[in-house]
Amino acid sequence: MPGDRETLADSRFRCNDRERACFEAGIKMATIYHQFVGTPFCERNVGDLEKTIAECIKVQPYVRDAEVSIRRGCGDKEDQYSYTSLTGDMIDATVVVELGGASVKAVMRYDTELGYPLMYIEDIQ
């Protein structure tokens, strides 16, 4: 069945492996942003959150590797009611997607000139 599903999925796309790998990388970046922005955390568990986000992305199709880093010093817990909600400008992420003969490295970084958490393709092979 798994081979049949791959053939069926491939039949839905009207592009080459390189273009589809870029598409898949974009989905992964959007997942990081839209699934996890708003997540509450504090400095104590920021490492756990980074690992959780990366591991969630790694189970998606065609992902070879994923790394997530959250800006430190933004989640100090001063009292019972103190925590930080994750925002896009706190996230640095890298995802590598491999599909067929193509490999795409997608990155999310806060761009200070743009004032925006930019997602972009850093490398295609």
- Does the pLDDT of residue 38 top 70, yes or no? yes
Determine the pLDDT at residue 82: 78
Going by C-beta distance under 8 Å and a sequence separation of 6 or more, which residues neighbour residue 40?
Answer: 83, 84, 85, 86
Please tell me the pTM assigned to this model.
0.89
- Does the pLDDT of residue 85 top 70, yes or no? yes
Confidence of residue 30 (pLDDT cuts 50, 70, 90): very high
Task: Give percent above pLDDT 70 in the chain.
Answer: 94
Return d(Cα 99, Cα 27) in angstroms, integer.
Answer: 14
Return d(Cα 37, Cα 105) in angstroms, integer.
Answer: 21
- Does the pLDDT of residue 1 top 60, yes or no? no
Cross-strand pairs, 105: 96, 123
What does pLDDT average to over the chain?
92
